[in-house]
């Protein structure tokens, strides 16, 4: 009797176990997440669905560092369960050197299943980068010998130490510096076809610096100019966080220019010429983006460097620090200067022109105020218009009555 019962149980279990196992196996899982890319050309995301079930929906999701929106892209699984999506940076650019987090999702039997998240950094892998690094800096280059890289690395460390002292902070996360061998290579990486004068770039929130320095006789001069300049942007961002975007451009670029070891002779020449031609740009006109043309941008950089140097000489490093935090708190271009230094930006502009460029304040002030005088003249003239035209109208009427 017991044997018969056991046999019956065994038969029932034999019938049920395959069904149970099949039910267990049809719970899909997503494995083997991989990514392959050629910088600027294509990025291919892959994963495998186990088992290869017929899903209702399947998606690739990815999030680019520094961007608020998650990309959600439908994917069609193959018959053997492979998921693949090829992204084209030509049609939808990806932020260079950003960390990209990605994962897959499938919908099966009205339930949503997600893979684990994977990530990679979208580094320009078209070049054979060489690297020197310590705990705070990593420097990468592809053209030039080891001496080239070591010289750049030493200048970067010196520039970082100087900027930390000047701004009163310490670097709190490692930074990466990538040296391109030409301006064309750098602009190609950044897709900056329409801004021909850009030779260096920093992504402060990523802690990434890109510069263009060609190995050769002027390499050290360019290293001393470009690398410390861009390092200052990273530290300014560290001081202010997301409020970095509130800082006036003249202040950001003016401060960064203070760390260039080699004096830019072009700045001196363009300032001298602009003073002679009376074509200086008002400092309060440099709070936003600089002019897109080469000559306008060069003058904007030259004025910013000279103006910030004047502020530092007049108000000290502590004065500049107050100015940075005033703007970071959201004060306007004129108000931030008044709050931090006691004078409006326009007043500081006049004092800078007198002290540094030898301009007399009265003519400059009259030149800056001339648009307001024109407006005042118009406002004063409007009430007099009826009086000016009334005699003419009366005379015309009298002439008509005589006829």
- Establish if 348 belongs to a structural domain: yes
In a domain? residue 19: no
Co-location of 215 and 252 in the same domain = no
**Does residue 268 sit in the same domain as residue 349?**
yes
Residues 265 and 178 in one domain: no
Same structural domain for residues 229 and 256? no
pTM for this one? 0.80
- 216, two tokens: 């050769």
Residues 49 and 107: their CA atoms lie apart, in Å, by 12
- pLDDT, position 199: 76
211 and 283: one domain? no
Together in a domain, 196 and 165: yes
The pLDDT of residue 193 is 47
Q: What is the mean pLDDT of residues 225-234?
A: 96
User: Which of 187, 216, 240 is a domain's end point?
Assistant: 240
Q: Report d(CA 167, CA 228) in Å as an integer.
A: 13
**CATH code where residue 236 lies:** 3.40.30.160
Which range marks the domain in which residue 229 is found? 127-240
pLDDT for 232 equals: 96
What angle (nearest 5°) sits at the alpha carbon of residue 92, between those of residues 61 and 72? 20
342 is a domain residue: yes
Interatomic CA distance for residues 309 and 334, integer angstroms: 18
When pLDDT is averaged across residues 65-94 and rounded to a whole number, the result is 93
pLDDT score recorded for residue 393: 41
240, 270, 294: which is the final residue of a domain?
240
Structurally, how many domains does the chain consist of? 3
Domain match, 86 and 180 both? no
Q: Give the lowest-confidence range in 11-25, 40-54, 237-251, 295-309.
A: 11-25
Q: Are residues 259 and 366 in the same domain?
A: yes
| Location of structure tokens 């260039």 | 260
Q: Read off the pLDDT of residues 45-74 as tens digits, 9 standing for 90 and up.
A: 999 999 988 888 999 999 999 999 999 999
Q: In the listed set 100, 121, 142, which residue is the last one of a domain according to the structure?
A: 121
Q: What percent of the chain has pLDDT over 70?
A: 81
DSSP 291: P
Residue 14 lies in a domain: no
Quote the pLDDT of residue 403: 44
Asked if 148 and 215 count as a contact pair (C-beta separation under 8 A), the reply is yes
């Amino acid at each position: 009797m017991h044997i018969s019962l056991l046999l019956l149980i065994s038969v029932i279990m034999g019938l049920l176990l395959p069904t149970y196992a099949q039910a267990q196996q049809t719970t899909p899982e997503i494995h083997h997440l991989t990514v392959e890319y050629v910088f600027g050309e294509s990025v291919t995301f892959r994963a495998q669905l186990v088992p290869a079930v017929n899903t209702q929906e399947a998606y690739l999701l990815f999030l680019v560092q520094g961007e608020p929106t998650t990309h959600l892209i439908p994917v069609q699984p193959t018959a053997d369960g492979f998921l693949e999506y090829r992204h084209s940076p030509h049609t939808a650019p990806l932020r260079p050197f950003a960390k990209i987090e990605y994962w897959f999702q499938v919908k099966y039997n009205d339930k949503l299943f997600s893979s684990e998240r994977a990530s990679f950094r979208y580094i320009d892998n078209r070049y054979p980068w060489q690297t020197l690094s310590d705990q705070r800096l990593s420097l990468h280059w592809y053209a030039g010998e080891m001496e080239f890289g070591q010289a750049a690395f030493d200048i970067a460390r010196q520039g970082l130490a100087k900027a930390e002292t000047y701004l009163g902070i310490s670097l709190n996360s490692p930074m990466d510096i990538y040296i391109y061998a030409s301006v064309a290579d750098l602009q190609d990486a950044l897709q900056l076809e329409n801004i021909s004068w850009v030779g260096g770039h920093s992504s402060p929130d990523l802690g990434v610096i890109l510069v263009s320095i060609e190995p050769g006789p002027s390499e050290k001069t360019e290293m001393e100019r470009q690398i410390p300049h861009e390092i200052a942007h990273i530290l300014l961002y560290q001081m202010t966080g997301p409020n970095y975007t509130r800082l006036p451009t003249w202040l950001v670029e003016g401060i960064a220019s203070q760390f260039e070891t080699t004096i830019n002779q072009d700045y001196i020449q363009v300032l001298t010429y602009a003073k002679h031609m009376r074509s200086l740009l008002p400092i309060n006109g440099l709070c936003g983006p600089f002019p897109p043309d080469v000559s306008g941008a060069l003058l904007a950089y030259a004025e910013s460097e000279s103006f910030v140097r004047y502020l530092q000489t007049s108000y000290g490093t502590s004065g500049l620090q107050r100015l940075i935090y005033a703007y970071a708190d959201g004060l306007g271009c004129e108000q931030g200067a008044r709050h931090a230094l006691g004078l409006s930006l326009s007043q500081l502009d006049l004092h800078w022109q007198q002290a540094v460029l030898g301009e007399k304040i009265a003519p400059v002030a009259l030149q800056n105020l001339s648009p307001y005088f024109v407006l005042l003249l118009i406002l004063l003239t409007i009430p007099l218009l009826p009086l000016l035209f009334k005699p003419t109208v009366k005379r015309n009427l009298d002439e008509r009555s005589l006829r």
